[in-house]
Structure 1
């Protein structure tokens, strides 16, 4: 079972976050989601996707660009929400949504690459972050399954 503890200001916003207690393999971990490797990788991924999406053709501004940025932003957002949830069931749900958004983002980027809208060279760091984030989400989801 976890507890949420009010946190001091970490991001310039009053009461912007909470620390969560996670039981990871029999070891309790108390950490703010903004301090986690997974959240920081997901934030970097969202940042890179948002910056790269301006390279898409103008006619895709409200199509693929919108889908890419929404999926990219969903990953750290749902990771943060899942991190702070008290019940394992809720944690699993939000981490599952984050993982689904990550798969959606990866698929959309592959389409952009295959159609020539985005260059393969510009996707190297993004693809690496997708892989790393996916692996971490898998571990966290498994940890939230076990008593």
Structure 2
């Protein structure tokens, strides 16, 4: 299996692309730079973790991805409050990012279970 076949990688990549396209013309460079880097970090860390040899390393990189999803959700909330994101767009991205967070949490929990088993 390749990381490109993982549903979570495909979904997080799609969210990243959508977010980049939506914010392409945003004048708030600092915000745009930060939120797009957070979004890009999610599929990147999923892929990097998948390519690691040990379960412990995979769990570590997937934990980084989960942290980036939390950062992304925070930025979506703030982006909506300051008027950079339309409420419907923010709601859609929040829903998807919350689902990604749940998926990552389950993957990490499963990986850590494997680590303790041995």
TM-score by length of 1: 0.73
Match of 2:73 in 1: 106
**Alignment counterpart, residue 142 of structure 1, candidates 109, 114, 117:** 109
Cα distance, 1:104 vs structure 2: 0.5
Cα distance, 1:64 vs structure 2: 0.5
For structure 2, the residue ranges without an aligned partner over 5 or more in a row are none
> Aligned runs of 1:1-147 on 2, under 5 Å?
31-54=1-24, 56=26, 58=27, 60-61=28-29, 63-146=30-113, 147=117
Cα distance, 1:55 vs structure 2: 5.1
Q: Please identify the structure whose Cα radius of gyration is greater.
A: 1
1:55, 1:118 within 8 Å by CA — same for their partners in 2? no
Q: Which has the higher mean CA deviation after the structures are superposed, 118-127 or 134-143?
A: 118-127
Mapped partners of 1:107, 1:87: distance in 2: 31
| Larger RCO (CA within 8 A; separation ≥ 6) | 2
For structure 1, the residue ranges without an aligned partner over 5 or more in a row are 1-30
CA RMSD of aligned residues (A): 1.2
1:53, 1:68 within 8 Å by CA — same for their partners in 2? no
Which is strand-richer, 1 or 2? Answer: 1
Cα distance, 1:124 vs structure 2: 3.3
- Runs (4+) of structure 1 exceeding 2 A deviation are none
Cα distance, 1:88 vs structure 2: 1.4
Count matched residues.
114
TM-score by length of 2: 0.90
Mapped partners of 2:42, 2:64: distance in 1: 8
